[in-house]
Chain A
């Protein structure tokens, strides 16, 4: 490629050959571990060598450059403004002298204790987190994420070290209440549902959301479950639900890392602020007031043609700036749902899941992961077992729990109730402490030594089952 030197902001010479990178966005994209979405967008490195050179070049970039050169123009994008306006120079001071490569060494070093990582959080921008993640191995992403402790609370306490929570996801293709209740019962008896009981509605409107919110609230009240509910409908629907008196615990929204992405989702930062205020006004939390539940996923900006020339992982990290503005209870990267044009196979899905978890945790988010795949991706249950195990080691906040891994509404596979118990048992992890006490009280499970379920059907649920099956169960 004969190109003039002046075209390049960054250059790297190797054995007499010069590799050039047009700007910081180009350098970030070419330094990104390979994935189909960046190839589709035309941003990816053209060779393995160019990628390795880009990573070496990126390692020499000072962190402070990310404060001087916005990857999406400040004037055009409210998320850039949020990132730069909220940046805390005092928190940044201990790492201000570092390059991206030096930042990796520092994060891995014993200087970066859990407390120190908490103290620099507000000084780290999403772009800095994305940049350093691009030059980190999978084990680096795991080790540093494990040091980041992010505690949140609503009716229980999420994110304590040594704990793994689950979202019970009782989706049904027609929102049938008996079908949903069946999956809820199954999940609760498999000790799942401490992060949230969250339904993706098949019919997405205010009336349906209100009906599902009421149904879940009745179950939570009836069994006095220390958990929270959420219907994953558009944020504007949830605001309307609250106005109409619905028993909303958590507000949901899918978020992206550019203003244009969020425009395509039909909301902006002001919408989220309004929704958060509305949910807080209900004062339904008992041990905390984190009322937001966000979902993200690499590729959404490209899918919305709203990426401003950024690679998909950098766009994803910018979404975490949106999330942390609103103190969420839970953030979920739905890593394998978007399909093989963005993450082609198990290897790319695994890498993305670890990157998202690391970046989210470094920025201070209660990061969970929908460890999942679609049937047109080159992935299977074994890939999910691997990613689940890696994330469990990394201290992932929560995963999904669904009957037998099969979401019969969204038509994809995610982690099952059984998978969560596997991770808890293999890695010695526990559910949220309030939920764990409830499991003991209800005679569902015992976690004194190794996490295990009781064999008998607990009395309280025996009566419920008899109501449905007429005593033949």
Chain B
């Protein structure tokens, strides 16, 4: 359909009224200046919205391809020793997962036994367990895990703090706090959870990072540090890796995480020096 032919500015003969201020969309991702059919959203904006919602819904419900991810990660030059663990929460399916957050925070019996057996058969001390969890977007995990971890391991190497890593853990139907269960069973000093965040309408692929020092079952979010919105169109991988490395090293020095560990890595400072003048008031 030729857009020009069916729309106009201020012409009442046309069904769609364009907004002269649609140029504002150069300054924000908000859906401004959509125009209107009568008082309703024009077709050309209605259907892309429906598509964005469909993609977000699909991201929530798509199953993580855990075998492929485990294989890919184990082949990386930086991969920690040991085959990645493939684990599952107590939530048997997505419908249960969505309604029972408590189930998503605990490993099922089989997964718990795997980790317990590993711990019983190994004397290796672990400084850090990295736990990759599908959360609310397996898409986020499949797109971002490899590039982020590649940057993270480079950054950890650069910092020369000699982190001893547990085998990677991959978890299906998990919430953030399932990292505590893993951390406690592996007796790791600290856990970093990579989890698919709740999809936004324009961000179905957002990865969240949660750092917990001394993770153990029952901790609240007050004991965690979070880095959010890691994805190609959000926080880039090098920035996220630098922040995570900073927080990991600080946590290790202070032996804590959460509200008492402030992020002073300084690359996300809000600029408050500008005046409040905006184009609406000149």
Contacts and interface: CB of A to CB of B under 8 A. Distances in A.
Are A and B subunits of one complex? yes
Interface of A: 36, 39-40, 170, 172-186, 189, 203, 207-208, 211, 214-215, 218-219, 222-223, 339-341, 344, 374-376, 380-381, 402-406, 408, 411-413, 416, 418, 421-422, 424-425, 451-453, 455-457, 461-465, 467-469, 472-473
Nearest to B56: A375
A405 B202 CA distance: 12
A411 B21 contact: no
Contacts of A341: 98-101
Nearest to B52: A406
For the residues of B in contact with A, the DSSP-based class is loop
A453 B39 contact: yes
A181 B280 contact: yes
Nearest to A211: B276
B24 A186 contact: yes
B24 A375 contact: no
B32 A182 contact: yes
B34 A404 contact: yes
Contact of A185 (B24, B40, B277, B282): B24
A416 to B, nearest CB: 7
Interface of B: 9-12, 17, 19-21, 23-25, 27-34, 36, 38-41, 45, 49-50, 52-53, 56-57, 59-60, 98-102, 136, 198-204, 270, 272, 274, 276-282
B57 A375 contact: yes
Interface centre among B30, B102, B199 (most CB of A within 10 A): B30
Given A406-B31, A422-B40, A375 B198 contact: yes
Given A177-B276, A185-B24, A473-B23, A408 B30 contact: yes
B82 to A, nearest CB: 33
B100 A40 contact: yes
A211 B278 CA distance: 12
Given A39-B99, A381-B53, A464 B279 contact: yes
Contacts of B29: 173, 179, 408
B280 A185 contact: yes
30 contacts: A39-B99, A172-B30, A173-B29, A176-B28, A179-B27, A182-B25, A186-B30, A207-B272, A208-B270, A211-B272, A211-B276, A214-B276, A341-B100, A374-B198, A375-B59, A375-B198, A402-B30, A404-B45, A406-B49, A408-B30, A408-B202, A418-B36, A418-B39, A418-B40, A421-B36, A421-B40, A452-B39, A463-B282, A465-B21, A473-B21
A412 B52 CA distance: 12
Given A185-B24, A453-B39, 7 more contacts: A183-B32, A186-B30, A211-B276, A405-B31, A464-B281, A472-B23, A473-B20
A376 B95 CA distance: 10
Contacts of A207: 272
A242 to B, nearest CB: 18
B270 A174 contact: yes
Q: Which 7 A-B pairs have the closest CB atoms?
A: A404-B31, A411-B200, A421-B39, A179-B28, A468-B279, A375-B56, A186-B32
Given A175-B270, A375-B198, A344 B99 contact: yes
Contacts of B32: 182-183, 185-186, 403-404
B41 A182 contact: no
Given A181-B280, A418-B40, A375 B53 contact: yes
Nearest to A171: B30
Interface centre among B60, B98, B202, B276 (most CB of A within 10 A): B276
A403 B270 contact: no
Contact of A457 (B20, B101, B204): B20
Contacts of B280: 181, 184-185, 218-219, 222-223, 464
B276 A344 contact: no
B30 A418 contact: no
B30 A404 contact: yes
A177 B201 contact: no
A462 B9 CA distance: 14
Contacts of A36: 99
A44 to B, nearest CB: 12
